[in-house]
Structure 1
């Protein structure tokens, strides 16, 4: 069931989104050669809790950390570790969110660690731009497939592939709500987009082939061919005036 949010609920989601976005910004600023992913996770958790909010990934279905931190060929759900030391040239996807006043924010960004290759730069740019193409399509009266196809069309035209097994989702009083938001699809198909819908739109794009697998830890998802992967996400509200990004930092 898709839950349409009231103006009051959207205001609460803006606050959750602001905290989530600020935490992500701080985490990204900590991405440097020699830093561990556990240190980055600690920074994000400290900020979220200092705002009186709760890290909404922590213990979610047993996940052991505040942030999913995935490096290079890791697509999503990487577990922060004190033994995972970042090095120059890595690309680091950080996915996190905060819950406050009963509502959730959810966002992600792939950060360069020092100087990165031109291949990596191009992948990050394409994935980030595909997110904004999708957001632009999140208008009242449209269809969910308009959002999905916007991502697919943009990245596949540039030679990249779309992960199929993992998708975006509704977000609100629950971290994951209906509907699912794939990053591939057909324009004009799917549920009608209505004011009050709130979606976590999150392209997960591979430089190589689309196939992925989950590691033995039960969480970390990697590309089968070892190619780089990037992940960008915003929580977005559909309003009568068009899409509004809820995960905006100060």
Structure 2
């Protein structure tokens, strides 16, 4: 008797398959992440190339190919970069980490609110990184951006970035706010606030935060142009989010 695995899909991969979620039949559980990807590729050959470069997430953690999927696990397929036309189901629009340092929201971001989370009277350096939607990329004019996130996993990854910073640069504080939904030209999509007793640590931690966010956090953006659109993942080149920096 076969069983089914509920699978969450995102960005262009959801567009290509035509749904933001699947109840996917498998002969038996457990099954490995790699086996699941192969079965999905066999079932959806038009999406096979995207599936091959995606990572399975099990219970909101990136899984290696040989990791087993057990009954009751939460399973998602995380694409790096993909193209699509915007199909998909509605998902929750706002959430924050239990400690309040990390936020994902469809509301406009406040730089001041994010900075306030890292204020410390004993810190001599505070930096904010503010990412905004730019209109021109070379010859290409962007009309707007659409952001999508696997919110619970994205929050976990953002919290991990903050913990890594605290471990690597002791005493340094970090808070991250990220926008989802429509972000128009000139509007803010991400705010990273870092404070530290010393400025060198502050600079290094801030750079680490944005680079790690782009490498591991399951947030995608869809660039909408005058003549089309394309989903863009945060990752470029060979992508392995399981390799922690």
TM-score computed with the length of structure 2 as normaliser:
0.27
User: Which protein, 1 or 2, shows the higher relative CO under an 8 Å CA cutoff with sep ≥ 6?
Assistant: 1
Structure with larger Rg:
2
Tell me the TM-score normalized by structure 1. 0.27
